[in-house]
Structure formats: C-alpha cells, structure tokens
Amino acid sequence: MGRPIRVVVADDHPVVLAGLCTLVEESPGLQLAGAASDGDEAIDLCVAERPDVILKLGTRLDDFVLHANGVTALSHGPQGVEEERGIGLLGADGLWSAIRERLYDDAKPEFRNRTAWRATLPASALRAEMRSPLVRLWLGENAHLVTYPLRGGTVVNVVAIVRDRWNEKGWSAPGQVEELAAHFPPGAWASPARELLRLAENWIKWALFDSDRTFYGSGPITLVGDAAHPMLPFLAQGAGMAIEDAAILGRCLSQTDANPEIGMRRYEAMRGPRVRRVQREARDNGQRYHLSGLSARARDMAMRFLGGRKLRARYDWLYDWRPD
C-alpha cells in the first residue's frame, strides 16, 4: 500500500503530503511509465522499432494546405525548407501551437495572472526529512509551493506558482530569486518552504495561460495536449491529458483507417467533456490553493477534517477514468 495523503502543520502552516506511489498502487490498471528523463530514450526506441517513423529535430512547421489527397506541410529545418505530404496532420506543438493558430482566428490562449517558477536542488543539500519520497504542497495567500523528488531521489524539483502580472510570451525566461521570495514573506510562510527558495539558484519562470474554447479540427487535421486544450497546472494534468489524447486518437484512427477525418471527429467528441472538466477543476483548484484570511482557515480546517483518504477520493473521477 502506498502512503496516504496527510495534512500536517509546520510553523503553524498546513502542508499536504502525498506518497508518490499511492495513486499508482491503489488505482487498478494504472502504471508508472518511467521518469521524465527517460523520454528521449523512449522516443529513440520507438523510432528504432518502427522503420515507418521518421524523426526530424530542430524543425519548425511554417504552413500547411489541405487538398484532395490529404495535407501538405511546409517546414523549415537544418536542411532548409521542405514539403511533407500525408493523409493527415496532428498538432502536438503545445501552448503556442502554430497549427492551432492556423485553424482558428481567435486561437490565442488567455493569461490567468499567474506565473510558475521552477528550480532543482541536489537532494544532498536538503535536510533529511525533505529528502523522503513525498510530494509536498504548501498553500498560502496568492501563492503555493510544490516539491517532489526526481532521478531516483537524487534531485528535488521545486515549483512555485504565484499571482503575477508578468506575461511574456514564450516557453520560459530566467528568474531572480529575490523577485520570487517577495511572494513568500516571513511569518506568512513556513520556514522550510522559504529555505527551499533560498537554496535554489537557477530559477526559470513562465506565464500561465489556458483557454475556454472547445477544441476541434478541420478535415484531416486535429490537435492534442496543450495545443488542443491548454490548462492551468493546479491538477498537474497537462501531460496526463496529452497521453490520454494520444491513446484515444490512436484507437479512433485504427477504427477508421480509410478516412482519418471520421476518426479525428470521433476523438474530438470523446475528449471534449473530459478535458473541459479538467480545465475547470484546475482553475477552481487555483482559487482554493491561493485563498487568504478566513477563507484560507476554513479550507485548512476542511482538509484536516476530511483526512487523507477522503481528500484523495475527491479525485477518483480523475485518476480512475477509463475509456469506454
């Protein structure tokens, strides 16, 4: 059995602790697919086993056109400008998707007045209790802090999300710890949380966006992941939804080999209700995480009253989901 979720108190501030294996061990059929750092190896293995898969790195899609035989895409990479032809086009190019912008005139995601900050620390630099295999979540006024181990526990990932007006477009930018620390003032935050901020040196930050629009494709073109349904990270489900997208899209396309358009529209109809709920719940979680005053005290009391198992059960709809 994995460790249950626990709500503890540090310096009079609540901390939510969850064992990394809890949901995996207690959810039927759910398995860990390996660490994020194994992603490149998994891609290489896929390409090696499938001679019909061609991987081109450092390549940007500039444009595409639909025609009777499918899609022609114009790309620019190390070999210059190239044309690629196929029976369909799948946009998995993230929040700033060029394919989505070509599909929709009003495709730009909306800034939600928050920024995320990330840094990593060697586990050896932390006190012993901070090196245990747990996800730690500190909640506070207009900010929260999450930590969890990576690379077999040798590294700890530190992520802070704060209310902010900085909304520079792009994947990330360098961040200064003094700017971040201002969102975590002494007295308002537990000392272990502030200590993590001081220990980390190389911070990056990025603005947070999502979208209210229902995603759809056009002809033999569709979208997956953040290109289709950008969401806030308050449920940590962006990558999870992309994996689900890929599984359902693959199933739908395999059932309609002769006509990818039918499979793509079926996929979009199947995924729409679920990803909209995840987007909505993530947005609501962001409000709950960043409460202040009496509202924050009521939230903390409710978490302690519910206890770990009931807190986790609130997300059964998310983690126990299976395709029909």
The residues annotated with a catalytic role in the active site are: 148
Q: What is the DSSP letter of 186?
A: B
Three-class SS of residue 13?
Answer: strand
CA 81 from chain centre, in angstroms, equals: 32
**Sign of the Cα pseudo-torsion (21, 238, 149, 207, in order):** negative
Burial of 321 (0-12, 13-18, 19+ CB in 10 A): middle
Q: How many helices (H) and strands (E) does the chain have?
A: 9, 13
Tokens 């190389």 found at: 202
Specify the length of the chain in residues: 324
CA 29 from chain centre, in angstroms, equals: 21
Q: Are strands 89-91 and 221-223 parallel, antiparallel or unpaired?
A: parallel
Between CA 294 and CA 290 the distance in angstroms is: 12
Between CA 309 and CA 316 the distance in angstroms is: 11
Torsion, Cα 93 95 34 275, to 10 degrees, reads -110
